[in-house]
Amino acid sequence: MIKSELLKDKGVLIVSPVGPLAASDFEHLAQEIDPYIEQNGRLPSKIEKVAAVSDGGFLRIIPNVASHFVKAEIKHFNFDDKDKALEWLVTN
């Protein structure tokens, strides 16, 4: 299951996995974000920044791995630094 929150005023989508993920989770996420993308003319391929927030060791390596597949700037933040991650996402 995926929990999501769209901060429309900031142009930020917060996605939090909550248990095992299923294809229907991503379909539901697309139903939430697609209208925003259409309204604002922003395409998913134009994502500029991704903040991975976790205390898990695995996600610490995500920025290095993901940089081979996406052009977005990716940065890891500890779970206690969620506010810093959001601040980083909305600053240029």
Q: Where are the alpha helices (DSSP H) in 1-92?
A: 23-40, 62-66, 82-90
Per-residue model confidence as pLDDT tens digits over 13-51: 887 777 787 888 878 888 887 888 788 765 555 667 777
Distance (Å, whole) CA 34 – CA 51 = 20
pLDDT of residue 17: 77
The per-residue pLDDT for range 61-83, each reduced to its tens digit, is 555 555 544 567 778 888 888 89
For 12, 24, 56, 59, 92, the CA distances from 27, given in Å and listed in that order, are 18, 5, 26, 23, 30
Looking at residue 44, the DSSP 8-state letter turns out to be G
pLDDT confidence band for 84 (50 / 70 / 90): very high
pTM, to two decimals: 0.59
Q: What is the pLDDT of residue 52?
A: 72
